[in-house]
Amino acid sequence: MISRKGRVKRRKPVAEINVVPYIDVMLVLLVIFMITAPMLTQGVDVELPNANASPIQTEESDTLVASIDRDGQYYIDIGGEQSTLSLAELKDRVRKVLAQNPNLPVLVRGDRNVPYGDVIGLMVALQGAGAPNVGLVTEPE
């Protein structure tokens, strides 16, 4: 820029950071995480019965969860690792796990549409495998 006297004025450099692109990226990441977070929950699609009971205090990785879905398929979840098994295979695997960690809590997730006898059969198999106490997982009312 030239002033009235003929000198060239120099502009000082601006020492500011434009943060608008960073805010845009953060908002996009926030939306992505909000959409994908519900998809990260793993497990068997089981409609749990409702019950008015207080929850037990255990960590998810420190439990053995045996599930039975509406089709009568048996699943076992040990520390986040899930597999489909027959009742005999499930009993054998639980026996091996409880031999290594006898204080591991054992829980049963049974679909509300499964006959009561099938859930009791799973509980009997778990107790036969060496689980001293078997808890039932329900949804809060």
Q: What is the DSSP string of the chain?
A: -B-TTSPBPPPPPP-----HHHHHHHHHHHHHHHHHGGGG--S----PPEE--PPP---GGG-EEEEE-TT--EEEEETTEEEEE-HHHHHHHHHHHHHH-TT--EEEEE-TTS-HHHHHHHHHHHHHTT-S-EEE--EE-
Rounded CA gap, 87 and 98, in Å? Answer: 16
Of the listed ranges 21-30, 42-51, 117-126, the one predicted with least confidence? 42-51
Query: What's the whole-number mean pLDDT along residues 87-99?
Result: 88
Question: Looking at residue 32, what is its pLDDT?
Answer: 92
* pLDDT tops 80 at residue 62: no
* pLDDT tops 80 at residue 60: no
Question: What whole-number percentage of the chain has pLDDT above 90?
Answer: 8
Q: 111 falls in which pLDDT band (50, 70, 90)?
A: confident
The angle subtended at Cα 69 by Cα 68 and Cα 72, nearest 5°, is 75
Q: What is the mean pLDDT of the chain?
A: 79
133 and 102 Cβ atoms separated by less than 8 Å = no
CATH dotted code for 50-140 = 3.30.420.270
Place of tokens 């009568």: 72
> How many CB atoms within 10 Å of residue 35?
9
Which sign does the torsion angle of CA 19, 23, 29, 32 carry? negative
Question: Looking at residue 37, what is its pLDDT?
Answer: 79
Question: Looking at residue 50, what is its pLDDT?
Answer: 66
Question: Looking at residue 24, what is its pLDDT?
Answer: 93
